Amino acid sequence: MTALKNDRFLRALLREPVDTTPVWMMRQAGRYLPEYRAMRAQAGDFLSLCKNNDFACEVTLQPLRRYDLDAAILFSDILTIPDALGLGLYFEAGEGPKFHKTIRTEHDVVNLPNFNAKSDLDYVMNAVTTIRSALGGQVPLIGFSGSPWTLATYMIEGGSSKDFRYTKNMMYAQPEVLHALLDRLAIAVIDYLNAQIEAGAQAVQIFDSWGGALAHREYIEFSLNYMQKIVAGLKREHEGRKVPVILFTKGGGQWLEPMIATGADAFGLDWTTPLNVARQTVNGRAAIQGNLDPATLYGTPASIAKATKAMLDDAYANGEKTGYIANLGHGITQWVDPANPKAFIDTVHEYSAKYF
């Protein structure tokens, strides 16, 4: 594989020296870009876009042509595993992902088919290899998966949910059934992320999008424990280089201390936890990623730069010179003017230089 020209993202994840703060954006390949919308229209629908090797590669690279980003992230979806398990993923306009089948009983869990990432999700591995080659060492490629808890919520609810009625009913009334499902999913995620690493992903992120919906004890039992199992099962070195692991629980900043015990290299934060507080809590034991409110990008270049500088001042308030990756606190939204992320990204590189 081609040597990396820009490895500051990987170095910061491992708390190694960097020359400036690395930056990327969750959902950086997406609907806010007109070139993405054109490609999606050409593909016909979202899943066809994900499953076409050339299309997935093209949309992954699109934001790198516009912005000075320090990482690319595989273009795919967090629900590929449930889809491969036969639940029938589809997308309703304006309503997000849905499944034709749901998992509501012990019988449903027991009868889930066996899963093999390389064969059942071969289109994802092909995309990883193609994107890695197309990048030519420009920046590292991030692979990803949904967390077992987050995947389970979609599988049980049949789509997105505001109250997680069916999932929490199972959690409190039949916890053994939910644990059986989460264990199956953790094993699947280990297989899936390891296959991505073997295909060329140079770092991986676990998206625990709905972990923040849990009470504090239940978060540890039903979400974090399964992410810890995943981290323990991952390939942590490939091609002679460490493969960093990032855990991101939206709404999970209060659980940073127990998160550290997972052995992950970095923890993503949403916009509700001050970075100076997070850095004090972690105290050099891991890297931190985040956490600009995505809505900040609705502002002017001046207001975006001001908010970004404040975030960076918080990130380096304790005197650490690395171990921080700038990002949004969640994915960039479809309504952002594509000119605005440049103010965020350029400010990160230019303003943070004073800390090195």
Handedness of CA 104, 164, 89, 54 (dihedral sign): negative
Per-residue pLDDT of the chain (356 residues; tens, 9 = 90+): 578 999 999 999 999 999 999 999 999 999 999 999 999 999 999 999 999 999 999 999 999 999 999 999 999 999 999 999 999 999 877 778 999 999 999 999 999 999 999 999 999 999 999 999 999 999 999 999 999 999 999 999 999 999 999 999 999 999 999 999 999 999 999 999 999 999 999 999 999 999 999 999 999 999 999 999 999 999 999 999 999 999 999 999 999 999 999 999 999 999 999 999 999 999 999 999 999 999 999 999 999 999 999 999 999 999 999 999 999 999 999 999 999 999 999 999 999 999 99
Whether 280 and 245 have beta carbons less than 8 Å apart is answered as no
In the residue annotation, 208 being an active-site residue is answered as: no
Give the residue ranges of the annotated binding site. 27-31, 77, 154, 209, 330
Among all chains, which residue has been given the structure tokens 């869990």? 109
**How far apart (Å, rounded) are the C-alpha atoms in residues 97 and 95?**
7
Task: Tell which residue, 50, 181, 48, has the closest CA to residue 111.
Answer: 181
Among all chains, which residue has been given the structure tokens 């994107």? 131
Q: What is the pTM of this model?
A: 0.97
Q: Residue 293: CB partners within 8 Å, gap ≥ 6?
A: 271, 307, 328, 329
Helix (H) or strand (E) holding 292: strand 287-292
Tokens representing 254? 């209060």
In the residue annotation, 65 being an active-site residue is answered as: no
In the residue annotation, 154 being an active-site residue is answered as: yes
Please identify which of the residues 36, 67, 154, 192 carries the catalytic annotation: 154
12-42 burial, b for 16+ CB within 10 Å, e for fewer? bbbbeebebbbbbbbbbbbebbeebeebbee
Give the residue ranges of the annotated binding site for substrate. 27-31, 77, 154, 209, 330
For the chain, domains (ranges, CATH) are 8-355 (3.20.20.210)
In the residue annotation, 31 being an active-site residue is answered as: yes
Please identify which of the residues 7, 77, 191, 265 carries the catalytic annotation: 77
